[in-house]
Amino acid sequence: MLAVDDILGPAGRIAARLKNYEERPEQQEMAAAVAKAIEQQKHLIVEAGTGVGKSFGYLVPAILAATERGEANDEKSQKSSSHRIIVSTHTISLQEQLLGKDLPLLNSVIPREFTTVLVKGRRNYLSLRRLQSARSRSASLFHEPKEFDALQKLDRWSQVTRDGSRSDLDYTPDASVWDEVVSDSGNCMGRNCPTYQDCFYYQARRRMDHAQILVVNHALFFSDLALRRAGASLLPDADVVIFDEAHTLEEVASKHLGLSVSSGQVRYVLQKLFNDRTNKGLLVHYKMRAPQVAVAECLITMDNFFHDAQSYLENRSRENGRVEGPRPFENPLSPALVSLSQKIRHAAAPLEDQTHRQDFVSAADRLTLLAGELEQWCTQAVEGSVYWIESSKTRRGHPRVTLGAAPIDVGPALRSELFERVPSVVLTSATLAVGQSHSFDFFTSRTGIAKAESLRLGSPFNYARQAQLILVEGMPDPSTERDAFEEQMIPVIARYVDRTDGHAFVLFTNYSSMRRTAEALAHWFRERDLNLLCQADGMPRTQMLERFRAEPRSVLFGTDSFWQGVDVPGEALVNVIVTKLPFRVPTEPVLEARLEAIRAKGGNPFGDYQLPEAVLKLKQGFGRLIRSSKDHGMVVILDPRVQTKSYGSIFLQSLPDCDLSVEPAD
């Protein structure tokens, strides 16, 4: 019987395969704990420091558990030992590592056959039927020449693609064209579809149904969990679910268990039926005049509804857009959408071709769904949720109003739909514990896991030798002297960037501060021929990272997405400057509601939530520096509160032990 040490141990199969093998006791300890949790059908929380090799620490026991059937001798043991494993990650980069590197290596060294599949959301796949439909009525669908070219390009690609998914394209398809040809649950005919046997999505489903290891992202997993609450599902049942990057669970779950309907969404659905400006749409193709008039009337109702929402936001909501009670304004839009839906179904009834009729059925279903979501928001139908209104501008400068809602506490949903349903759930990250005692209490309280084994493993890296932590003394307090802090921050950033001749991340907590600082330092960077990459300039995150790695003497200014999930080992990054402690703005609607709920239960919102959340975020930011045993560098914290406030010690105690020094701001 194979055990994890047979694969990961110093005399194991990986050691025999890799010339540069390094024994990792922490990894072996983690793998043993995961194997035990799976075997005993228990939940497990593992904080494993950078360098432990978490992915092998959970993949090896997962693969062994999934393939035990092959070693079982009798029918009874075969049935009891077979497992299906779901591995969920937050970032694409980790998915790529698992599928492109880790799993192929393990497949080559573990002497058992196992199948792995990357599960993508349905809208990643091309629908052959919808492609044919789009080609036949392109004149009534598209307006711009580039759209017709994009459709032809997708048609040619459909004949040579391996799996029909967007990732097989070497370019980003035109959004309006892709939306007309994408596989869509509401526009799917299932086995009645003439292209069912060749369907890319159903081929992927069949691969998923037969795979033992399913790799997904958190967004897809929690979309599935939301569907399960409504009696449907995207993913098959699993015996084991492993969450890597588990520190992001609460936020991702909150987003996908909530609600969001925008004026842009509703307008898009209506104008796909009939766009009076371009005279395009499904109803134009079939020359259905009466429903076109109904769509035009519905668009007017929609404009009035979202205008009322905008007025409420400006005049009666809280400053952050929160809406306190149900029915803040009248909702004539939901009845109008339901009425239009019925007219669309009626208009489609005489059509003999089922594939043509399906487009109408799909549109009618979408209208009904939008009507229900709008009514659910207006009536605040889901208890324990926070409701708000946002206003923004589209790329073309048009106003966009969004009605949002999210559960204040995701714990109950996760408890009932995840922890009580799946026999073994493993949650791991480099940042789950807080403070000197390295407590998991904050994480468990926010995710609703009532009973779990826990394990904390330090990093094998020698932080005392590899990393220096510099605290800057004498800076103004950013919470009470924001302008003075920002003014003094500029020369201090320049000083520490100069010390390492670039090769630095500068991490900010908001875009406006980052933009002002970049503008103030732009001339200084040019004088020294340093390459400044600023997230405020709109460059995609992946492209920024590629340029940072490729171009020597670069400095990257980043906000939220660069605090975590970014891996830059080697000399490219030797300096991480943290401008402010990463406390979130307490007036964000969901956070504000969470803090109110804690206070109502007699808790301390700052100590119970804001502080531990910021500590975990700082640990993530610190973790960008040392990514291998050969890395070295410094982390500089400009925020004086880490020294002047009583809670500052909790931040420092949560970081790895390293060389600490205090330097004056002047």
Q: What pLDDT is recorded for position 69?
A: 63
* Best CA proximity match to 284, nearest among 139, 186, 133: 139
Does residue 507 carry a pLDDT above 50? yes
Q: What pLDDT is recorded for position 230?
A: 81
Same domain, 479 and 575: yes
User: Residue 81 — very low, low, confident or very high, per pLDDT cuts 50/70/90?
Assistant: very low
Q: What pLDDT is recorded for position 199?
A: 95
Domain count along the chain: 4
Same domain, 301 and 389: yes
Segment (H or E) for 181 = helix 175-181
Q: What pLDDT is recorded for position 396?
A: 74
Same domain, 442 and 319: no
How far is it, in rounded angstroms, from Cα 239 to Cα 375?
37
The domain containing residue 149 runs over which residues? 122-205
How does pLDDT run across 571-627, given as a tens digit for each residue? 999 999 999 999 999 999 999 999 999 999 999 999 999 999 999 999 999 999 999
Same domain, 215 and 190: no
Look up the CATH number of the domain holding residue 360: 1.20.120
Backbone angles phi, psi at 183, to 5 degrees: -70, 130
How does pLDDT run across 153-187, given as a tens digit for each residue? 999 999 999 899 998 998 999 998 999 999 988 88
User: Residue 19 — very low, low, confident or very high, per pLDDT cuts 50/70/90?
Assistant: confident
Q: Is the dihedral of CA 467, 621, 628, 8 positive or negative?
A: positive
3-state SS assignment for residue 468? strand
pLDDT-wise least confident of 291-305, 389-403, 518-532: 389-403
480 CB neighbour count, 10 Å cutoff: 8
Does residue 77 carry a pLDDT above 70? no
How does pLDDT run across 90-145, given as a tens digit for each residue? 988 899 899 999 999 999 999 999 999 999 999 999 999 999 999 998 999 898 89
Which of 343, 378, 407 is the C-terminal boundary of a domain? 407
Mean pLDDT value across the chain: 93
Same domain, 187 and 300: no
How does pLDDT run across 415-447, given as a tens digit for each residue? 999 999 999 999 999 999 998 889 999 999 999
Same domain, 519 and 645: yes
Look up the CATH number of the domain holding residue 241: 3.40.50.300
Same domain, 196 and 222: no
Q: What pLDDT is recorded for position 82?
A: 56
Same domain, 103 and 137: no
Q: What pLDDT is recorded for position 73?
A: 45
Does residue 206 carry a pLDDT above 80? yes
How far is it, in rounded angstroms, from Cα 267 to Cα 263?
6
- Please give the order of strands across the beta sheet that includes 504-507: 531-534, 554-558, 504-507, 575-578, 633-637, 467-473, 659-664
pLDDT-wise least confident of 20-24, 284-288, 384-388: 20-24
Same domain, 493 and 400: no
Which of 205, 237, 267 is the C-terminal boundary of a domain? 205
User: Residue 635 — very low, low, confident or very high, per pLDDT cuts 50/70/90?
Assistant: very high
How does pLDDT run across 309-346, given as a tens digit for each residue? 999 999 999 999 999 999 999 999 999 999 999 999 99
Same domain, 130 and 228: no
Of residues 395 and 55, the one with the higher pLDDT is 55
Contact between residue 369 and residue 337 where contact means Cβ atoms under 8 Å apart: no
Q: What pLDDT is recorded for position 397?
A: 74
Same domain, 402 and 424: no
Segment (H or E) for 269 = helix 263-273
| pLDDT-above-70 percentage for the chain | 98
Same domain, 445 and 474: no
pLDDT-wise least confident of 172-176, 367-371, 649-653: 172-176
